[in-house]
Amino acid sequence: MRAALLREVDGPFELADLPDPDAEGRVVVRVRAAGVNFADILIRRGRYPQMPELPAVLGTEVAGELDDGTRVMAITPGSGGYAENVAVERAQVVALPEHATFAEGASFLLTFLTAYIPLTRQVRLRPDAVVLVHAAAGGVGTAAVQVARSLGARVIAAAGSTEKLDLCRELGAAEAYVYDEIPDHLRVDVVVDPVGGALFERALGRLRPLGTLIAIGFAAGMWPEIDPANLVGRNVGIDGFYLGRLLRHEPEVVGEAVGELLALWQAGALRPVVGAEIPLAEVDRAHELVESRTSVGKVVLVP
Ligand SMILES: NC(=O)c1ccc[n+]([C@@H]2O[C@H](COP(=O)([O-])OP(=O)(O)OC[C@H]3O[C@@H](n4cnc5c(N)ncnc54)[C@H](OP(=O)(O)O)[C@@H]3O)[C@@H](O)[C@H]2O)c1
């Protein structure tokens, strides 16, 4: 089978002919679409905390078909998704809704679970809550805007460039700003932060009493050191969320959330945003789109 192999940190991907994966008690998915996630970018740049051994086939999210033609989507922990075939634990395979395309299927599980579980299991969203979402036009961001909206919150979207703001409003944000133009006086109950760095620190200052900053990622750089005294004194908190660990240690929590999200998708309350579909052979271009901050929604590879 054809697969995109990463041989070394910072290297280009190589389209290689590899043996088909051994099922070994798992099911083999014929990949029709593979999601590009920011973790793949971090791995390629050697910045991911749990680096796989290289060479490796990256990609932790796919949609495709089983041998009997069943349409499925799946998270593939430990990678392997940037390929024509990938072996997946049966428990990780979820039926793709009839109305969904493969590209949408490869854009759903990882981003929506990452937005939905903290917003429903970690924070308590009052009906009139105000939620600020950073990188709101990105993969996790477009999911978070829609999830927070569907839970009844007033959503403020923030992104790196003005071109991204219309999409945020279309998805249900009441207001949308580029980061430097977020009004100084804005105070919020919850921040969903996939960005980290200086933006994370600034967002902490925007929390109302009893507010929570949900730390999801560090696309812009590592988190600053935070003194708990600053949290205690202001009645605010930081919650961390990492889907990979939850999948390993609390799979039933993730399974329950998948069921709830599928119901919301079927009801039309959510939709995965596919920003670009790119042939697997052009995986370098797909990574460039995400890394240069020009992508919106999810970038998907088509083998
Ligand atoms: N904790 C978890 O379980 C989990 C799960 C999934 C993803 N994540 C994390 O969540 C974040 C978003 O992931 P994603 O796959 O949905 O990616 P994404 O949001 O589609 O892409 C990353 C976005 O981050 C923003 N960004 C800000 N500073 C950046 C910088 N210096 N370099 C690159 N991007 C920068 C960009 O949006 P703007 O230009 O609008 O700022 C960019 O579009 C990543 O940090 C990822 O690692 C965590």
For the segment 9-33, what is each residue's pLDDT rounded down to a tens digit?
999 999 999 999 988 889 999 999 9
Tokens for 16, please give them: 């290689």
Residue 217 CA: which ligand 1 atom is closest? 45
Band of pLDDT at residue 243, cut at 50, 70 and 90: very high
* Residue 117 to residue 243: CA distance in whole angstroms: 9
Q: Give the pLDDT mean for 232-241.
A: 98
> What's the pLDDT score for residue 250?
97
CA distance 223 to 265: 33
DSSP code at position 86: E
Instruction: Provide the pLDDT for residue 14.
Output: 97
Question: Ligand 1 centre from 160 Cα, in Å?
Answer: 11
- pLDDT for residue 300: 98
pLDDT tens figures, 247-289: 999 999 999 999 999 999 999 999 999 999 999 999 999 999 9
Question: Which residue's CA is the nearest one to ligand 1's atom 44?
Answer: 217
**203 vs 147: CA distance, rounded Å:** 20
**122 pLDDT more than 90:** yes
Output the ligand 1 site: residues, CB below 6 A: 37-39, 110-111, 114, 135, 137-141, 159-161, 164, 194-195, 216-220, 241-243, 290, 293, 295
Residue 78, pLDDT above cutoff 80: no
* Residue 275 CA, closest ligand 1 atom number: 20
Which domains are seen in the chain, by residue range?
A: 2-108+273-302 (3.90.180.10), 111-244 (3.40.50.720)
Average pLDDT over residues 111-126: 96
The amino acid occupying position 171 is: L
Which of 203, 215, 272, 204 is CA-nearest to residue 242? 215
Question: What residue owns the CA closest to ligand 1's atom 39?
Answer: 160
C-alpha 116/C-alpha 262 separation (Å) is: 12
Q: Is 173 a residue whose pLDDT tops 90?
A: yes
| H or E segment and range at residue 251 | helix 251-266
Q: Ligand 1, residue 39: give the atom nearest the CA.
A: 47
Kindly state the average pLDDT of the residues 235-245: 97
Contacts of 181 (CB under 8 A, 6+ apart): none
Tell me what the pLDDT averaged over the chain comes to.
Answer: 96
Cβ–Cβ < 8 Å for 13, 36? no
Distance 136 CA to ligand 1 centre (A): 9
- The residues near 189 (Cβ < 8 Å, ≥ 6 apart) are 125, 126, 129, 130, 131, 153, 207, 208, 210, 211, 212
Burial zone of 226 (CB within 10 Å; 0-12 exposed, 13-18 middle, 19+ buried): middle
Which residue's CA is the closest to the ligand 1 atom numbered 9? 217
Residue nearest atom 25 in ligand 1 by C-alpha distance: 135
According to the model, what pLDDT value does residue 79 have? 85
